[in-house]
């Protein structure tokens, strides 16, 4: 045991220069006493430079919400991992369900993005999770196994060990419907068991976050489950007091 806590905010497509400044300042000062928890904000591309200038030298780290699978070239509108690294990003979310469902990213592309991030020394936060229909037809484990296997097949198990995994049941994202701590725990345990087939050590050490309607008032209950190491936070990461309190709840 002894995995450190990890809380990442996914701002999604929200923010403005004025609001970001207030939010980032509040998060830095409100999490100053945090021990043994990484605190990360994943912000929209245009605000990464602002985020870097506010957070540089603080304990709060930053990252992107998506990345191209390509490193450079004629890919209009894309942003490469090299560019994120240039702006001090240490993390990037890959395979978020909104990317998978709204923008057609399949397991293979997600795996390529994962690899591109690591090639630039950026730690991917790999999102996995099932839809409501998949859960109701008992396919949760099969879907998540395929999402994990695509990355293991392309990048290898050692590479997976250098990432953070986020379990985000699609039916719990932005709906106010949180998975119960036990439902989340069961899937987190399954993810570790699937990784343990390749490496027991990696399965034990990898940080696995829960995401989907995490708020200040349900975070602690989720984070006390043995296989839940923290959270990937959407809506509540835009409200400083909520996000700070979620970060504090991830302290062991």
Spatial distance between the Cα atoms of 107 and 148, rounded to a whole number of angstroms:
9
The active-site residue, picked from 96, 112, 130, 188, is 96
Q: Write the DSSP symbol of residue 4.
A: P
| Smallest distance, ligand 13P to C-beta of residue 231, A | 8
Catalytic, 96? Answer yes
Please report how close the Cβ of residue 175 comes to ligand 13P at its closest, in angstroms.
Answer: 7
Nearer to ligand 13P, 183 or 199 (CB): 183
Compute the least distance from the CB of residue 6 to ligand 13P, in Å: 13
Choice between 202 and 214, CB closer to ligand 13P: 214
Strands 123-128 and 5-10: unpaired
Q: What are phi and psi of 6, to 5 degrees?
A: -155, 125
168 a catalytic residue? yes
DSSP string, 63-77: EES---SSSSSS-TT
Q: Residues with Cβ < 8 Å from 76, sequence gap 6 or more?
A: none
Q: Which residues bind ligand 13P (CB under 6 A)?
A: 10, 96, 168, 173-174, 211-214, 232-236
Q: At CA 208, angle to CA 227 and CA 81, rounded to 5?
A: 175
| Comparison of 204 and 217: residue with beta carbon closer to ligand 13P | 217
Q: Which residue is nearest to ligand 13P (CB)?
A: 234
Q: Which residues are catalytic?
A: 96, 168
């Amino acid at each position: 045991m002894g995995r450190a806590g990890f809380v990442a905010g996914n701002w999604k497509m929200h923010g403005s220069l004025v609001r970001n400044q207030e939010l980032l300042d509040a998060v830095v000062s409100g999490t100053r006493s945090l021990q043994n928890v990484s605190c990360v904000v994943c912000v929209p591309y245009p605000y990464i430079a602002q985020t870097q200038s506010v957070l540089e030298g603080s304990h709060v780290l930053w990252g992107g919400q998506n990345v191209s699978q390509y490193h450079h070239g004629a890919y209009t509108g894309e942003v490469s991992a090299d560019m994120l690294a240039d702006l001090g990003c240490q993390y990037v979310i890959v395979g978020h369900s909104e990317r998978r469902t709204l923008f057609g990213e399949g397991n293979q592309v997600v795996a390529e993005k994962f690899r591109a991030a690591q090639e630039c020394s950026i730690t991917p936060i790999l999102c996995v999770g099932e839809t409501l229909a998949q859960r109701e037809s008992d396919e949760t484990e099969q879907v998540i196994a395929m999402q994990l296997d695509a990355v293991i097949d392309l990048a290898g198990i050692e590479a997976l060990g250098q990432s953070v995994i986020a379990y985000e049941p699609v039916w719990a994202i932005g709906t106010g419907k949180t998975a119960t701590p036990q439902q989340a725990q069961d899937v987190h345990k399954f993810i570790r068991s699937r990784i343990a087939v390749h490496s027991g050590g990696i399965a034990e050490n990898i940080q696995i976050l829960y995401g989907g309607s995490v708020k200040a008032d349900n975070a602690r209950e989720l984070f006390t489950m043995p296989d839940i190491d923290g959270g990937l936070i959407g809506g509540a990461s835009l409200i400083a007091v909520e996000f700070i309190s979620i970060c504090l709840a991830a302290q062991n």
